[in-house]
Structure 1
Amino acid sequence: MTGLKGPVMRNNKTKKGKDLIVDRASLLKVSLLVFFSAVLSATIMWGDKAYPETIISAFLLTGLLLVILYKDLMRYKPAIEKNYALLLLIGILLTGNFMIGRGFYYILEGFTTWLGNIDPQVTAYAIPLATGSMLAALLIDIHTAIVFSVITSLLAGIWLGNPFYSIFSFAAGLTAAFSVIRCKRRSAIWRAGLFVGLVCMLASIIIFYQEQFLTLNTVAALGFAFANGLIVATLVSALLPLLEYSFKISTDISLLELVDLNQPLMRNLLLEAPGTYHHSIVVGTLVEAAAEAVDVNPLLARVSAYYHDI
């Protein structure tokens, strides 16, 4: 019997250890969910007459949307379950997006109030909520960016109490995400911002056509809508390097900088080991073609081949 008890005790300890790990992982996920739900709901409800039931409703709704986002990511990207850095990044993108948007709205609303002849509500068309979608597309993938845009647009409509603004925000977010697919140069971010601005202008025209047209507010809305794209491009250009460095993510833009043969390391390799240098170039070309054939990132494969002997 003694021999039987030993293995049983070890199995129990192993099981308890696994349960403890699972509990810690679940606790961490729940903590992230509660934290980001609280921050998001507070950002959305800030400045409004917040009754207890309103605050609770906003918190629960935000939490529900975050759970839907997590479940969707788990469905097509199961590895995210243990990738807490990626979960943290998504939470930061979502909450930071609305914090920045709230800040811009507050500043622009005060500016139009000071002018006195423009409806302060038209400044909503300059809120750069598409920033999060563009960053999600660059740092993660297009699927995440699309779901991100859906959630952002729903929360934006709740924030401003305008269902049309949800459509406006969704159109801007999708444009931002699809405009940077396989983005190879940082200058392409500005081109994407231009597309976002044009789509925002078109969306604002459609929205204002329902109510009023060819008024001062319409012209102001068009200007704010176009500025939206420029603000998005500016924010993405500023935040992308910081997020890449903080979360150790290499986007295609960073990889393109590494593939530059004028890099000091590659030039040094050419001088000290020309045979290895030419071998790396040939392997890089072959690997890039193979990667394109199997539909994986050819740029990443090429960079890996360039530096595989260093």
Structure 2
Amino acid sequence: MKNEVQIKGKFHYRLIGWKYSNWVRALLFLLLALLFYGSLYTKLVPQVYDIQLGAISEKTIYAPRQIENAVATEQAKEDAAKRVQPVYQVVNLRNDALIDAIFDRLLLINSDEEVKFDDKVSIYRRVIPQLISDLESESIKSLQASGQYNDQLMEQISQGLTEQQYKLPEEAYFKLPRLTKEDLAAMLPVTKDIVSKLMNDQILDAQPARAKVAELVNTSPLTKNTTREMVTEIARAVITPNKFYDQKGTDDARGQARESVKPVFINKNEVLVNEGDVITEEIYARLDTLELLKDKANHLPQLGLVILSILLSFVMVMFVKQSVLPIQYNNSQLVMLLLIFIINTAAMKIISLGQNLDYPHIGYLAPTALGSVLIAILLDAPIAFISSVLFSLMASIIFNTEHVQLFDFRYGLVSLVICFSAVFAIQRASQRATILKAGLMISFFSMLTITSVMLLEDQWTQKDALFSLSFAAAGGLLTAVFVIGLLPFFEAAFGILSPLKLVELSNPNHPLLRKLLTETPGTYHHSVMVGNLSEAAAESIGADGLLCRVGSYYHDVGKTKRPSYFIENQTNIENPHDRIDPNLSKSIIIAHPRDGVEMLKEFKMPKPIRDIAEQHHGTTLLHYFYHKAVKQAEEEGSDKEYREEDFRYPGPKAQSKEAAIVGIADSVEAAVRSLRNPTLEQIDSMVHKIIKSRLDDGQFNECDLTLKELDTIAKTLNETLLGIFHSRIEYPSELAPKKAN
């Protein structure tokens, strides 16, 4: 970093004071860090209150961010679980197989004549309940083997079958042995039909289903009372519950119901406690969760914000340090950068207040790209790009309303896209209308990015889309309006000569240019030619070509005070210098830079333009009038001695590359114009001679032009002059005598 730039020579400037003070520079970067800290504090560090449990609140406290209402959420989950109906499972217990087994046993025993009646009664009293129990056990084992039912449900099935098992009345055992083969054959289909009909329904309690058996038997084709009675009893014994309470299924369903309940939130800026309310345990716990209690305040967020602010400021320090522009050492430009950050941040903070009015997407209206555009126009594109990253990071925090994370990527992404697109659009701006075009581009890319985000999230509503895109479209236009309004302020306050301002100054209708054209047409034409030469030369070495061109237009405006004393304006008139003393001629000639500066000040022209007018001759020697004075003294026999210092321009020497280039182009154009039929060799020789003469004379000692750049300038001037004087140049081949045939 340059702490001090010393200028050697009779007229020199010493760049000192606050503009080049390291302490001031450190203070400005500290202020930038404080800006980051202050603008992000309310979003990242919650406010705390001195509140005690059971005390009365002295103020109304609002939620600084959205927070889950744990009590309300838990109550909602309980309500959802209570609304879930018990879960039951319907199972197939193979009742048809049980009927077949009973009737097979009846047919077998009743057909055995060797078995006595009493023995048959005893057998039925023992065998039939055993058949029912065995088949139910087999059914349970089959269900367990299938793996479809959990252990709790299997216990419920086993318990339900046991508790609701039907016991045949004692008299039935005495009637069963009397059933004939024909009776059993008639009873079997009727029994199966009745059981099938009843078991098709879901039976939680078997008793109501068993009560319906008698009615169905009465409508059957059976005619004997005994067969009807036995079918009724056997059907009742076979009918079992097939619908069982599933405790695990019920618990799972209730658990799913609890999980499906969305958390109940206390929204941002919703009242947590009103003034005068008693601080209950619930309210106290809620304030504690939000870290709003002073005695339990967490200071880690403040430390984190301090570190973040320092890091963001450090990023700017490094990029400014690497810049090749005067901001590297000029604190006034750093002040301008800080002011742009303040304005841009203030605009975002003001827009963010609208998020409290139920417009959650109003952040897209913020002119986030305002700072990037101003920096790109007034300073440098690389600094504008890194500033865009910082602005985007700040936007993702300032417009973050959900507080799920520290940053809302949607606003950060949109801000980054529009800032970058704005810098690309405005880099080569040459008219104020370009700013409006950049604003339209900001609107377009903002809407495009928002559309992309909405499609990726797939959680947007038509209302959200309409508001977001409308705010985005308006945000681009708002940015353009602010840039157009603020740009003249920065240009005037900091003496910044932006490309837009330069293009305006190049308008031939400017009063000074009109004066130059009407009063000194020769000088005007000379200035235009110098402008073309200097612009090409400046751009060849990376200097400001537009500044050189516009500066050239005004560099000789001081000649309008005495136009006839300058050779380019002496058309068909006598040269007045032939009749006056060389000292007077010298005074008139060297006065035109000073006169030009005074005129430029009168019209409030920017300092870089005035500097070019003042410095383009540097301290060069007026060779013609010096030698004329010396020769005149010799002819008159005068012993008066003339020094070269008396016939030099007062300076100062060129302080910038642009002023030096305009000075070279000025001399080159005048010298080449004096040649009647210039050749390529003459032009090349003239250009190198003028540059070498100025170099040997020390005219480039106070600007940072290198020898390599001077060589590039010479080549560019040769190429440009070749295009300008192409029709007048005599080529060597044309000058050579023709050979005789």
Normalization by structure 2: what TM-score? 0.36
Q: Give the superposition deviation at 1:76.
A: 3.4
Could you tell which deviates more after superposition, 234-243 or 93-102?
93-102
Shift of 1:52: 4.2
Within 2, Cα distance between the matches of 1:77 and 1:286? 24
3-state secondary structure, aligned to 1:46? helix
Instruction: Determine which of 252, 256, 260 is the counterpart of 2:503.
Output: 256
Instruction: Determine helix, strand or coil for the equivalent of 2:21.
Output: helix
1:74 aligns with 2:321: yes
CA contact (8 A) 2:367 2:475 kept: yes
Aligned counterpart in structure 1 of residue 41 of structure 2, from 45, 69, 74 = 45
Match of 1:140 in 2: 379
Please state if 1:291 is matched with 2:538: yes
Identity value in percent: 30
TM-superposed deviation, 1:239:
0.6
Residue 417 of structure 2: which of 145, 162, 171 is its match? 171
Once residues 545 and 327 of structure 2 are traced to their aligned partners in structure 1, the CA distance between those partners, rounded to angstroms, is 23
- Write out aligned runs for 1:62-101 (5 A): 62-77=309-324, 79-101=326-348
Deviations along 1:216-257, whole A, 9 cap, x unmatched? 111110111111101110110111110111111000110011
Quote how far apart the aligned CAs of 1:172 are. 1.0
Counterparts of 1:229-248 in structure 2 under 5 Å? 229-248=476-495
For structure 2, the 5+ residue unaligned runs are: 1-16, 48-297, 401-406, 558-741
Aligned residue number for residue 36 of structure 1? 32
1:73 deviates by 2.1
The equivalences for 1:1-20 within 5 A come to: none
Q: Residue 189 of structure 1 is aligned with which of 435, 457, 476?
A: 435
Structure 1: how far apart are the matches of 2:483 and 2:451? 26
- Looking at structure 1, the residues matched to 299 and 38 of structure 2 have their Cα atoms a distance apart, in angstroms, of 12
SS at match of 2:523: helix
Question: Which residue pairs with 2:550 in the alignment?
Answer: 303
Q: CA deviation at 1:67?
A: 1.2
Which residue is equivalent to 1:116? none
Question: Which digits, 9 at most, give the CA deviation of each residue in 1:166-224, with x for residues without a partner?
Answer: 11111011011111011011011010000000000011111222142452111110111
| SS of aligned partner of 1:73 | helix
Structure 1 stretch 35-44 or stretch 233-242: which is displaced more? 35-44
Structure 1 unaligned blocks of 5 or more: 1-20, 114-119
Distance 1:284-1:27 versus aligned 2 partners, 3 A rule: closer
Tell me the equivalent position of 2:566: none
| Higher share of residues assigned helix | 1
Aligned mates of 2:541, 2:27 — CA distance in 1 = 39
Aligned to 1:126: 365
Q: Give the corresponding residue for 2:514.
A: 267
| Distance in 2 (alpha carbons) for counterparts of 1:79 and 1:231 | 30
Q: Deviations over 1:55-92 (max 9, x none)?
A: 34223312211111111221233753421011111111
SS of alignment partner, residue 39 of structure 2? helix
State the distance in 1 between where 2:302 and 2:492 align: 35
Letter in 2 for 1:198: F
Distance between the aligned counterparts of 1:272 and 1:212, measured in 2? 71
Task: Give the paired residue count.
Answer: 281
Runs of 4+ in 1 over 6 A off after TM superposition: none
Instruction: State whether residues 130 and 169 of structure 1, in contact with CA within 8 Å, keep that contact through their aligned partners in structure 2.
Output: yes
Q: Give yes or no for contact 1:131–1:236 (8 Å, CA) kept in 2.
A: yes
DSSP 3-state at the match of 1:121: coil
Tell me if structure 1 keeps the 8 A contact 2:21–2:331. no
C-alpha displacement at 1:35, in angstroms? 2.1
Are residues 1:156 and 2:395 paired? yes
Asked if the contact 2:443/2:475 (under 8 Å) is kept, the reply is: yes
Find the aligned partners of 1:231 and 1:89 in 2 and give their Cα distance.
21
Quick one: structure 1 residues 146 and 289, their matched pair in 2 at CA, closer, same or farther if it must change by over 3 Å? Answer: same
Note closer, same or farther for the CA distance 1:78–1:186 as it changes in structure 2 (3 Å cut): closer
Q: Distance in 2 between matches of 1:89 and 1:56?
A: 29
- Taking a change above 3 Å as real, the CA distance of residues 70 and 296 of structure 1, as seen in their structure-2 partners, is same
AA paired with 1:177?
V
TM-fit CA distance, 1:54: 2.6
What RMSD, in angstroms, separates the aligned Cα atoms of the two structures? 2.2
1:55 corresponds, among 290, 299, 302, to: 302
Cα separation, 2, equivalents of 1:77 and 1:288: 20
Q: Does structure 2 retain, via aligned residues, the 8 Å contact 1:40–1:95?
A: no
CA distance in structure 1 between the aligned counterparts of 2:491 and 2:306, rounded to whole angstroms:
30
**Aligned-partner Cα distance in 2 for 1:105–1:186:** 29
Partner SS for 2:361: helix
Q: After the TM superposition, which of the residue ranges 263-272 and 230-239 deviates more from structure 2?
A: 263-272
Q: Hey, what does 1:198 align to over in structure 2?
A: 444
Match of 2:349 among 88, 98, 102: 102
Shift of the 95–55 alpha-carbon distance from structure 1 to 2, 3 Å rule, reads farther
Matched residue, 2:6: none
Following TM superposition, by how much is the alpha carbon of 1:127 offset from its aligned partner in structure 2, in angstroms?
1.3
Larger Rg: 2
